[in-house]
Amino acid sequence: MSESSAVIVISSHVVRGTVGNRAAVFALESLGLPVWALPTILLPWHPGHGPSTRVTMPDEQFGAVIDDLIRAPWLGEVKAVLTGYFGSATQPRHVARLVNALKERNPEIVYLCDPVMGDKGGLYVPQATAEAIRDELIPLASLATPNRYELGWLSGADLDTNAAVMDAAVALGPPKMLVTSAVPMMAGGTGNLYLTGNHALLAEHRLIDNPPNGLGDLLSAVFLARLLSGMDEEKALQLATASVYEILARTAKRGGDELTLETDAASLSTPMAMVQLRHLMHPSRTRRR
Q: What is the pLDDT of residues 80-93, one digit of tens each?
A: 999 999 999 999 99
From 77, 31, 43, 56, select the one nearest 231 (Cα to Cα): 31
**Domain count of the chain?**
1
In a domain, 15, yes or no: yes
Of the two residues 213 and 25, the one the predictor is more confident about is 25
Strands (E), the chain: 6-14, 35-43, 55-56, 78-83, 110-113, 118-119, 122-123, 143-144, 176-182, 189-195, 200-206, 276-279
Please tell me the distance from the alpha carbon of residue 13 to that of residue 22, in angstroms, as a whole number.
Answer: 6
In a domain, 263, yes or no: yes
In a domain, 1, yes or no: no
Q: What is the pLDDT of residue 128?
A: 98
From 48, 96, 106, 99, select the one nearest 76 (Cα to Cα): 106
Q: How many CA atoms lie within 13 A of 252 on its CB side?
A: 15
Degrees to nearest 5, angle at CA 166 with 172 and 163: 140
In a domain, 236, yes or no: yes
CATH number at residue 116: 3.40.1190.20
Please give the helix or strand (H or E) that residue 218 lies within, else none.
Answer: helix 215-228
At 281, the pLDDT band (50, 70, 90 cuts) reads confident
At 4, the pLDDT band (50, 70, 90 cuts) reads low
Please compute the mean of the pLDDT values over residues 247-256 and round it to a whole number: 94
In a domain, 188, yes or no: yes
Torsion from C-alpha of 212, 121, 168, 278, nearest 10 degrees: 40
Output the CA–CA distances (angstroms, integers) from residue 171 to 78, 138, 174, 281, 282, in the order listed. Answer: 29, 12, 9, 16, 13
In a domain, 29, yes or no: yes
* Domain ranges, residue 251: 6-288
What amino acid occupies position 34?
Answer: P
| Contacts with 246 (C-beta within 8 Å, 6 or more apart), sequence order | 264, 267, 271, 272, 273
At 284, the pLDDT band (50, 70, 90 cuts) reads low
Q: At residue 1, does pLDDT exceed 90?
A: no
Q: What is the pLDDT of residues 45-54, one digit of tens each?
A: 988 898 989 9
Contact 161, 183 (CB under 8 A): yes
In a domain, 83, yes or no: yes
The SS3 assignment for 14 reads: strand
Length in residues, the chain: 289
3-state secondary structure 94-138: HHHHHHHHHHHHCCCCEEEECCCCEECCEECCCHHHHHHHHHHHH
Contact 68, 99 (CB under 8 A): no
In a domain, 215, yes or no: yes
Please tell me the distance from the alpha carbon of residue 37 to that of residue 22, in angstroms, as a whole number.
Answer: 9
